[in-house]
Structure 1
Amino acid sequence: MAVRLSPPPPLPLRFNMRQTDCGRFTAITEALLAEIPEDLPLAMRASLFTDSIMEAASQAIPLAKPHTRLYRDAWIYGPQVKELNRRVNAARKAYRRAPSPSSRAYLHSVVHHARAVKNGLREQAWLDWCCSLGSRTTVGAMWQRVKAMYAPSPRTLPTHPSPDAETDRLARIIASRSSPVYLPLPVRHLQASAEEGRSATIDAACRLEAPSDAPFTSEELRSALYGRRDTVPGLDLQKEHHYLPHHLSGPFSVPLWLCHLLDLEKALELAQPLAILEVLADKDVAGRLLHWVCGFLHGRTASVRFQGCLSESLSHAHSHSLGTP
């Protein structure tokens, strides 16, 4: 008599925090919390508070797609493997924060110890599974365990039937979106009439001396080339914190210098380089920095890479400074 194994339980739902709608989440949370009576017991209020947070999250945060990838340590994962991974991550963070020969040696010792312990756990789990095999073990159960041990990669998605044509089509669409033909005729006339004055203003600002023209010091170059992702150069008491405003209805942060472009129609696609440079010159951006931005905005070309195919480079008449040169 063959024993049919039950299917594995579905993975728990997880929220995609990168696409959180912060404004909607805050509004829903405040509305739900305002409906909780104040005369309820503390335990009931805490339960209603938790339910309100989960309800707001279910409406404002999309769910992440459940993955089917089986990781290498999935079949032996437990509290001991979790603790080993935590120690390895802590040692790596300590080495990135303060790299030195001693921290590097400590990182190597932690990694070697974790690998040795995991190899022992794999060997013991393999022996336990082999001892559990018998004449009544089904072939499906054996293959299911073998696949879990070898951790196969996820199934690849189907490719496009004609990637070359699709690559050229995407490149033409992106280039056409920056064409001045899509602008209204009065706007094009105004841009043509203001071109001479804008060019004179930009040339005068480029010839001015600015504080940004000072050459970089050796200490600044050394701190810039030393890529620390967990902290900024300098002492902890002298760090400068830069805060970025957020949309009230979305998760994307808006750099402060982008606020200068909000008065332009379709600033991210149809902003004229001269208009952007004039606004920057009015904001006291001058000297070599403005000259570099001028060269960065003019003569922009872009190509599209799609499924291993690369299109030809097409010029963008009205490009923006957020693209790739």
Structure 2
Amino acid sequence: MQHNGVYARTGPQSAHRSKPPPLCNILNDPELDRTSRPPHHCPRRPNPSHSPTTNLITASSTSCHLRPHTSTMPQTTQPYKTHTPRCQKPFPVYRQTHRAQKNNESPTPPTSQVLCGERETPLQVPPSYSHPNNLGDTSNTANTSPPTSLRILQWNILGASARRSLLEEVAHKDNIDIFLLQETLLSKHRPLHMRGFTPFLLPYVRGGCAILVRKHIPAAAISPLPDCSEAEIQGVDLTLAQGHLKIYNVYRSPTADLRLGELLSLSDTEEVFVGGDFNAHHFCLNSQSPTNPTGRHLATVLEETPTITLLNDVDSPTHLQGGRLDLSLVSSTLARHSTWEIHPTLTSDHHAILCTIPIAPLPRPPAPPPRWNTKRADWGLFTNTLDDLINSDPSQDLEEHAAQIISAFQAAAGTIYRANPTPEALRYLQSVIQHSIAEKNSIKEQKWLEWCQSLGAHSNLGSIWKKLKAVSSPPSARPPTHPNPRKEAENLAESFARRTSPTQLPNDIRRRQEELHQHRAEMIHISQNTPAESDRPFTTHELAQAKKSSTDTAPGLDGITYSMLSHAGPVAEKAFLDLLNHSWTLGRLPLQWKQL
């Protein structure tokens, strides 16, 4: 029976089992009342009387009742569902407490007895768990919304090069922060590059793995990695707003051995997320295939490690043939608000999985300044709008004065046609790029065929070897100019300093310098206190001469271009001139003008 992510066997299938499986202690709910079980229902045999949307069983202190789970994913032969973590030790209590608070009820105290199959096995269920480096502790925020989350997509992609454009589209549409990819089939000579992501690649051995992290999230490869026997594993350490999170990507081929004890035990001291294709079969995972050694090992390790939580909804297969091969595990302190769901569109022979972890990443860098199509601008309207927006009473503070002028220019720039790409223009650009790439490849192929045809039976043997060497061997690297250039530069600077030192001058020259030192100091003091002809305010004529008539270049953060300054009206010119003289009088520039 399925009970809030908890599975217990009933009927004839459980009678022959003398000993419950290890994972059953994790998957069974402590509040399950066996007398309320529907007859002849087993997780491996779906009840045909249930609706296709899959009924979930919600527990109370004395009985169980069914409630429909509405799926937000498109209905297929196996319905997609959004899932919250269900098979973990601490979380039967967490889920019940959260449900009672939502219904304004008092939560039922946790019990120490957990049902397992047809037997009652004593098992202490801790009501909470405090991590030594707790990033996800939300014990004091039960009535508040979850924090900003990290979105992780894991997928056995079965060839990453052919699906790169699909990954880029999903990253933009679903706001993915991290990709965990298995069976990438990439070698070290064929890296995977995606715009806006930092790649961490594990070359192809049995399948190959890749982790792609948003560039604004600081990430570093983990070395050394925990021992997982023959499975492929890679990891990255993320620096987030509230601390660190270790991400591990695992791929086990069907014939490889897998050991997870060292990897999952890392959750005792740090926050971790582990995802990948484990190829594990166990009946508590609703696997259609017989239990294999990896499934038994996984069940044992999960029972022995209370600090790690399996996020999977075992009712949702991750393989097209119905297997639950792709698993997602996270530290128990982060599992409370974590979600797990099958992606509605990404499919190879595996379904992609989308996990949301309640950790706030670092904020993204600010968007680039807007670009304006000045060739299609209505400059008359811009000039009139700018003159109306100029404040006739400027601030005495230089920073506020500059901010007033900049905001007026930016507001008036709204009358200029902004070069925002429309979806149609973006699709047209993509088609042009694809056509250009196809033409480039066609030219390369034609040149290659011409080069091959130039080699024949009558070709010079020396020229043949020369061409083959040029094709097969990469160009040799140039030797460095000096074996230690930094040290050589320091030696050169020290030698120059010694030769140009005043101690190298003759004695009469040094005496004359000492005599003139006092006179020079007096002249410098007089020149500093005497107003120069240039210490006067700028004039309108000087401003007109300083204006550039050249084409626009890349603007600064304020987005003001040469064209905007040159088309400013008389009111805006006077205001801008007052700002320049204000800055000249104070002897410093506004801070906005120093930012790049």
**TM-score exceeds 0.5:** no
Which structure's CA Rg is the greater one?
Answer: 2
Please give the TM-score of this superposition, normalised by the length of structure 2.
Answer: 0.17
TM-score when normalising by structure 1: 0.28
Instruction: Name the structure with the higher strand share.
Output: 2
